[in-house]
Amino acid sequence: MFQYTFSELTNSIFKINTAPRLFTMRHYEKQDKPVFRSLHTHEDMAVFFFVLTGSCIAAIDNTKYTLIEGDIALINSGVLHNLEKSDDCEAVQLGIKNLYLKDLERNHLIKASLSPVVKSGSHCDLVRAYIAALLTLAPKGKSERISHSATHITQGLLYVLEDLILSHATEQQGQDYNLGLQIKEYIDEHYLENLKLPDIAAALHVNTYYLSHVFKKMLGYSPIQYITHRRIGEAQNLLLSTNHTITEIAMRCGYNNSNYFQVVFNNIVGMPPGKYRKAWKSK
């Protein structure tokens, strides 16, 4: 027989009188082909993404990462991202709301100065155990008691995550990183306007060629490609969260021509906006 004693609870990682809750959970299985989402943000929750097997590509804020088995991607609220799953990948994504970690902003899992990808390393089996427990509960999640249980398991997982960040997280690095961030911030503020490359260069007082070079090296997209993906990402959010017509959404996303908007949307997402809306709302 083995008996274990656990330490007394004295120091929470959460701010006083706050407790995060698990809002959504997605289980991506091998051979799944989820509907593609362009770059988008979650303004009201943080995202925890764990690769169980295989690999996938994650675009997070300003960099593309190849995630392999045991890797964790941490996506703060308001951070642009998308995930490109391969056929051999099995992964779990958790959406966490009402998160107030000490020394961090609301719904933030990690400091912005740190890499959003963390390796689970020696903690991998422990992380898998938490995920396995959540996968067991998830099909019964409509019960309030089950929801409470899943939330408490998620809170335990966040304690493991804090240990991982302290021991494995690395600082963001890269030549011209600050300029790249300035470019991105400017585009994020103005992407719905009639924005051209010379406009960005003039606003930031840099050469257009150098601007393009720095931005593409940092993000993997040219500035114009990034603007397009931001617009389509916003269009996807509006398609799923509103009843606006396709024409209204096109106008709100910077397209004066609805037909052209639908062509661009189809090229990026792989289906027209109307079909995309039906596909997601039927899930």
Range of the domain at 51: 21-168
CB atoms within 10 A of CB 208: 15
Residue 148 forms part of a structural domain: yes
Of the pLDDT bands very low, low, confident and very high (cuts 50, 70, 90), residue 134 is very high
228-251 pLDDT tens trace: 999 998 999 899 888 999 999 999
Residue 258 C-alpha from the chain's centroid: 28
Same domain? For 131 and 195 the reply is no
Report the pLDDT value the prediction gives residue 252, as an integer from 0 to 100.
93
Query: What percent of the chain is predicted at pLDDT more than 70?
Result: 92
Q: What stretch of H or E contains 198?
A: helix 197-204
Task: Report the SS3 class of residue 14.
Answer: strand
Residue 80 forms part of a structural domain: yes
Of the pLDDT bands very low, low, confident and very high (cuts 50, 70, 90), residue 171 is low
Tally the domains of the chain.
2
Report the pLDDT value the prediction gives residue 106, as an integer from 0 to 100.
94
φ, ψ of residue 70 in degrees (nearest 5): 95, -10
Of 109, 134, 168, which residue sits at a domain end?
168
Same domain? For 255 and 190 the reply is yes
Same domain? For 146 and 272 the reply is no
Mean pLDDT of 21-29: 90
Same domain? For 49 and 134 the reply is yes
| Most distant pair of Cα atoms in the chain: their distance | 73
Contact 63, 177 (CB under 8 A): no
CATH number of the domain bearing residue 244: 1.10.10.60
Q: Which residues contact 126 (CB under 8 A, 6 or more apart)?
A: 160
Residue 11 forms part of a structural domain: no
Calpha distance 22→45 (Å, rounded) = 10
Residue 3 forms part of a structural domain: no
Q: What stretch of H or E contains 281?
A: helix 273-281
Mean pLDDT of 98-102: 93
Report the pLDDT value the prediction gives residue 280, as an integer from 0 to 100.
75
Residue 232 forms part of a structural domain: yes
Same domain? For 160 and 136 the reply is yes
Average pLDDT value over all residues in the chain = 86
Report the pLDDT value the prediction gives residue 33, as an integer from 0 to 100.
65
Of 134, 168, 202, which residue sits at a domain end?
168
Same domain? For 50 and 119 the reply is yes
Same domain? For 122 and 259 the reply is no
Calpha distance 74→19 (Å, rounded) = 18
Residue 22 has pLDDT above 90, yes or no: yes
Residue 8 forms part of a structural domain: no
Same domain? For 124 and 72 the reply is yes
Q: Which of 79-88, 118-127, 183-192 is least confident?
A: 79-88
Mean pLDDT of 216-239: 88
Residue 57 has pLDDT above 70, yes or no: yes
Same domain? For 183 and 50 the reply is no
Of the pLDDT bands very low, low, confident and very high (cuts 50, 70, 90), residue 168 is low
Calpha distance 207→213 (Å, rounded) = 10
Same domain? For 163 and 185 the reply is no
CATH number of the domain bearing residue 63: 2.60.120.280
Report the pLDDT value the prediction gives residue 69, as an integer from 0 to 100.
87
Whole-model pTM above 0.75? Answer: no
Residue 78 forms part of a structural domain: yes
Residue 82 forms part of a structural domain: yes
Of 168, 191, 221, which residue sits at a domain end?
168
Same domain? For 268 and 131 the reply is no
Same domain? For 71 and 196 the reply is no
